[in-house]
Amino acid sequence: MKRNVLLIAAAAAAFVLAGAFFASLGFYTDWLFFREVGYEAVFTKGFLAKVLTGTAAGVAAALFLLLNMLAANRQEFPQGRIYSIEKELYGIKKFDINRLVKHLGIYLSVFAALIVVPAAAGYWEEVLLFMGAQPAGMQDPVFNRDISFYLFRLPLIDSLNGFAGVLLLTGAAFTALNYMLRGGITYIEGLITVDRRVKRHLALLVSLWIVNLAVKFHLDRYALLFNEHGVLYGASYTDVNARLLMLNVITPVALAAAAGLFIGVTRRSIYAAVLPLAVLGGVYILGVVLYPSLLQNFKVSPNEIVLERPYIERHIRFTRYGYGLGKIRTEPFEVNDELTFNDINKNISTIRNIRLWDEGPLLKTYSQLQQIRTYYKFVDVDNDRYDLDGEYTQVMLSPRELSYEDLPGKSWINERLVFTHGIGLAMGPVSGITREGLPELFIKDIPPVSTTGLRVTRPEIYYGERPNDYVIVKTKVKEFSYPTTEGNVYTVYDGTGGVRLSSVLKRMLYAAYFGNFKIFLSTDITSESRILYYRNIIERVDAIAPFLLYDSDPYMVVSEDGRLYWIIDAYTFTDRLPYSKPLQRGVNYIRNPVKVVVDAYNGTVSFYVVDGEDIIIRTYEKIFPTLFRPLSEMPEGLRKHIRYPRSLLRVQARMFALFHMTDPRVFYNKEDLWEIPVYRGKEMEPYYVVMRLPEGREEEFVLLLPFTPSKRDNLAAWMAARSDGDDYGKIIVYTFPRDRLVFGPRQVDARIDQNAYISQQLTLWGQSGSEVIRGSLLVIPIERSLIYVQPLYLVATDRVGLPELRRVIVAYGKDVVMEDNLESALRRLFKGSLPEPEPPGKEEPAMEGLTWRELGRKALDSLEKARESLRNEDWPAFGEYLKKTEELLRELSKQPGR
């Protein structure tokens, strides 16, 4: 038996040591990662908070359970001392059950306390928030407590009370089991007998549990502020006038019941022990359950709007605060049908920045034209704006990342040492199209070639949206950079990212951590080599600050010095704001106070605070003072590219559709309920546009979304979130007159379908081996009017389709037209012509009235088409485009001084 026990003990020790080894590996690699990004203080504080929280809870659990076990072990019961075993067991014919149970109770208590440690360590964030809570300056209307109490203090108090309750029940169960096995509680011939000492001990534990229940009743008063009712969220008339009253009554009743139970058991009085419990149960059933229900049904429901009015006002006020709706400014928009071509010309920047490329078709087109090799991938397409050659231009761009699933030869060396990064991006104007219906490109190819003043000087993407878990750079093996017609170009990493593998110990630890000992055995790795991990940018920032919620759509920015950066929107959120209506996962407060910038080459991470008024981020700033930086420290070239996030506006729009009604009676009757427009079975998404707001002096980058009245199709309003300069974060809602019909997206879409010419063309294209893709219908405010723009794409169905933008539909008033491009459609609608874009500097006209810049661009476009034809082995098209390129270049070379 001893040998078996030793084997079991050895196996358990080995298991514990293995777990400790791998835990220490994770700890060490994370420490090196935090040191790499410069946030050692954040790691240390988080780690110490976890250790101290888990240890404190574990020690408390151990002390409580062990004290109960020691108290129980001190009692002796004659009938439980020795049990004889007739059958030989491991060579022992009889053993002392009493002694065995005593030891098992001690071991079980220690084991339970060890389980508590990691479980309690998960509450480290609640502890830090409790200690660092900052006042919000806003009080709840029932208890007059600052809302920071509910956000930061009450969660930990609730958790501690719950922990105490579980600990008391566990202690009572362990103690009762100890007594049962040792004879303190016996069951003989249907009769249960409990020793007097056992009764006192268990009565004390049950009484303490009832005290814990009394504390819960006291805390349940605050939970009334989070009750959900049909007409409001939060404490209602019934909650305040019935449930709150009874919870105030039942708390002392529960304390009295706890004392009565212990005294009754101690004095052997069943009446004294049971009566307080019966009173407690009666008060709960009659006062907490029955009375509020009767009050609600017979008094509140028949007079709901009158009695609930002040509580609805609270619900509206706190919900508007929770989603930042209180700062939204509402302005009337006196729409008219008096738009002229002069107005179009006055807003020419808006016209030139109307987005004609949807993200889906453009992603497919980029993938076929600019992917270059199968192991490159475009993940998604993002919207941004740049000052290009003096023009404020909205662009769409997509980074070219490396797809490890599509590498030509998969091996450890290829995946970890050679193919280490993506390269460059594709970028073009939102409205730019070639004569072939393909997107115009400002930045393209490998290495990146730019047709504007914007240059990419550091195109390598080591940190992105889809890299593998780790690579090793600065090895004896050169890294693949990009392919050319003459051969592959290789490079050596010259950045500061990653951790130096400066010792054999580090290599061994990383080999164990990543489960591949080639890291340790490879002769290509030197002491100067660096291992790059946490390369997925969302995982990277989440590892540093897991208490923030990160937007799933990060976007890339080309800085003024040509480097590539990622910008990620980070959100603070909670489900603990009183009276605020919750959304998914119970969240009823959300802000976007932080912009996270990640260097795509070095992996450096910076957290910039853009909303210092957010109560949650102010608290985290106090907890982690070295983590966050003010927006003023963000480089100006990056600050120009922060944008209002679509995810946040989508949430705010859904809430504002209801909570723009601030009058309780109007809110109760839903008299002016709005909706986000739905057409073709899909809810309209917010979209970015460069436009001049009615009160604005110049064009700016705006996130726009229209509203329709509930269950109707006409427009009710449009929401604009601003992104530029000091106006960042400001939201304006322009409301349309109620006495006028303003067409909504579904109505305009129906009018397009009813247009005989357009309907006929769509049918013909669909029958000619092409699929017609109808793009997003955009509502574009210009002056005091609205125009509606929808692009049409054609995709061949007999092969891998390349979406081509072939038509643009424009609707204004009662007119709907479809032309080859936006300019032609506007010219037909308004009987005029748009001015040509003015390039920087004076240029003389060239071939067929083209400027030199336009002539050069046409030559580049023709050359690109020749390359594409060559890749597709389309020899006739290759010869045609090559000849056209030669003609354009020859014409360009004829001009003197050029």
Residue 466 confidence (pLDDT): 87
In angstroms, the CA 687 to CA 790 distance is 13
Return the bridge partners of 157, or none.
Answer: none
Give the pLDDT confidence score for residue 643 in this predicted structure.
97
Burial class for 521, CB neighbours closer than 10 Å (0-12, 13-18, 19+): exposed
Tell me the average pLDDT across 538-542: 97
Residue 137 main-chain phi, psi, to 5 deg = 75, 20
How far apart, in Å, do the first and last CA atoms of the chain sit? 98
How far CA 529 is from CA of 154, 223, 316, 549, in Å, comes to: 49, 56, 58, 33
Instruction: Output the pLDDT for position 637.
Output: 93
Predicted pLDDT at 699: 92
284 pLDDT higher than 80: yes
Phi-psi region of 60 (alpha: psi -120 to 50; beta: other; left: phi over 0): alpha
Reported as a pLDDT band with limits 50, 70 and 90, residue 854 is low
CA distance 715 to 100: 79
Give the residue-averaged pLDDT of 873-897.
68
Report how far residue 748's alpha carbon sits from residue 51's, in angstroms, rounded to the nearest whole number: 61
Cα–Cα distance list, 673 to 517, 648, 662, 676, 735 (Å): 63, 20, 12, 11, 13
More confident position, 591 or 698? 591
Predicted local confidence at residue 92, as pLDDT: 44
Q: What is the mean pLDDT of residues 498-524?
A: 93
Mean pLDDT of 632-640: 95
Output 605 or 858, whichever has higher pLDDT. 605
Residue 797 banded pLDDT, cuts 50, 70, 90: confident
Q: How confident is the model at residue 266 (pLDDT cuts 50, 70, 90)?
A: confident
Tokens representing 614? 């957010």
Judged against a pLDDT cut of 50, whether residue 635 lies above it is answered with yes
Q: Can you list the positions of beta strands (E) in 10-58? A: none
How many whole angstroms separate alpha carbon 624 and alpha carbon 49? 12
The size of the chain, in residues, is 898
pLDDT in tens, 722-764: 999 999 999 999 999 988 899 999 999 999 999 988 988 888 8
Contact 855, 846 (CB under 8 A): yes
How many Å apart are CA 264 and CA 255, to the nearest integer? 14
Q: Which two tokens stand for residue 366?
A: 């980029």
CB 393 within 8 A of CB 446: no
Q: What is the pLDDT of residue 551?
A: 96
Q: What is the pLDDT of residues 299-333, one digit of tens each?
A: 999 999 999 999 999 999 999 999 999 999 999 99
- Please tell me the predicted confidence (pLDDT) of residue 681: 84
C-alpha distances in angstroms, 39 versus 27, 63, 222, 462, 604? 15, 36, 37, 20, 11
Share of the chain above pLDDT 70, in %: 89
Rounded mean pLDDT of 484-493?
A: 88
- Quick one: pLDDT at residue 389? 86
3 state SS of 8: helix
How far, in Å, CA of 719 to CA of 655, rounded? Answer: 12
Q: How confident is the model at residue 213 (pLDDT cuts 50, 70, 90)?
A: very high
Query: Over the chain, what is the mean pLDDT?
Result: 88
As a whole number, mean pLDDT of residues 146-154 equals 97
**849 dihedral zone (left: phi>0; alpha: psi -120 to 50; beta):** left
For 130, phi then psi, to 5°, come to -60, -45
* pLDDT value of position 79: 58
Q: What are phi and psi of 202, to 5 degrees?
A: -65, -35
Residue position matching structure tokens 């959300």: 590
Quick check: helix, strand or coil at residue 395?
Answer: strand
From 96-105, 127-136, 667-676, 699-708, the region with the lowest mean pLDDT: 96-105
Residue 93: the pLDDT is 44
CA gap 111, 338 in Å, rounded: 80
**Phi then psi dihedrals of residue 509, to 5 deg:** -65, -45
Tens digit of pLDDT for each residue in 372-393? 888 999 999 999 999 998 899 9
Q: What is the pLDDT of residue 5?
A: 46
Which amino acid would we find at residue 428?
G
pLDDT band of residue 183 (cuts 50, 70, 90) is confident
User: Which range, of 21-30, 449-458, 516-525, 554-563, averages the lowest pLDDT?
Assistant: 21-30
pLDDT at 873: 57
Q: Which helix (H) or strand (E) holds 85?
A: strand 83-89
Task: Tell me the per-residue pLDDT of 74-126, one tens digit each, with 9 for 90 and over.
Answer: 888 765 544 444 444 444 444 567 788 888 889 999 999 999 999 999 999 99
E-assigned strand segments in 303-430: 329-332, 376-378, 382-388, 391-402, 422-423, 425-429
pLDDT of residue 13: 55
- Choice between 357 and 230, residue whose per-residue pLDDT is larger: 357
Mean pLDDT for 686-713 is 93
At 610, list the tokens. 């853009």
Tokens representing 668 are: 């109760």
What is the number of H-type helices and E-type strands within the chain?
29, 36
Among 549, 539, 596, residue whose Cα is nearest residue 572: 549
